[in-house]
Amino acid sequence: MEKLLIKIIVLIVSSLSLSSLMADPIETNNDEIINRALQYYLVENREELIREHDLISSEYKKNNEAKSLLLSMLFHEFLIADISTKKIKKKYSKLCITNSKSALTSSKSEADLYAVLSACYGLSAESNLFKAASHGTQSGRMIDKSLVMDSKNAFAYMIKGIGDYTRPSFAGGSKENGNKNLSTALELIDKHDNSAGDKKFIIAIANFHLANIAFITKNKQQALQYLTNSLRVAPDYKRALELSKKIES
């Protein structure tokens, strides 16, 4: 994730600001843009993410050669799909898959983009019964490609871990593997000097899913510890707050 977010946001910044879509990349605060998008995600403010996505989409239609806009659209579609209900998840995961494939043809960030494509296939499988099996399989293939290209990619390990434990066992799901890969993501992120927003995202999300695995396996105390770690860096993280309340009720 450390590479993906930074590369996508740098490309976004080089061509637009959300107010004018004409910002000077030197004068634009990258961390501010990253933190705003991720904060919308963590508190599940889908409306703001969609609003910003639509601005970018409108601009991309005017200039479909602008790869920075394409990558920005992909980033927003991924976030929107992940926090949405079935109908919206289906729509934006489909857009994300389409745009990820287009971005892969011209980007050097292939490991990161394959990880996003894996996540989007997984989200599509969740929201589309008829494509659940095929897109679930594709999700696994894409994340394996990502890790072959970059075996130290924390974001890829996080996506792999989430996919591992959320898939049913007959489709290769494994809580043990999910726990292992999510823990690896945290170990990798701890070894790198990442931007504040980027690091917060990985720590919060990975710890939440580790907490969810612990909760599912009836280890409430361990789940609460992971949730404490998650909420320490992202106090407004909606999913972590809701799970914490559920455990303590």
User: 21: exposed, middle or buried (C-beta count within 10 Å: 0-12, 13-18, 19+)?
Assistant: middle
175-233 residue pLDDT tens: 999 999 999 999 999 887 554 456 888 999 999 999 999 999 999 999 999 999 999 99
Class of domain 2-248 as given by CATH:
mainly alpha
| Per-residue model confidence as pLDDT tens digits over 98-122 | 888 777 776 656 787 888 889 999 8
> Which phi and psi angles does 199 have, rounded to 5°?
-65, -40
Q: What is the pLDDT of residue 31?
A: 47
Is the model's pLDDT at 29 over the cut of 50? no
pTM, 2 dp: 0.81
Nearest residue to 188 (alpha-carbon basis) of 166, 173, 206: 206
Max Cα distance, the chain (Å): 53
CB–CB of 14/25 below 8 Å?
yes
What does the pLDDT read at residue 1?
53
The residue ranking higher by pLDDT, 35 or 127, is 127
Rounded (5°) CA angle 14-15-17: 95
pLDDT tier at 56, thresholds 50, 70, 90: confident
Could you state, in order of their start, the residue ranges of all structural domains in the chain?
2-248
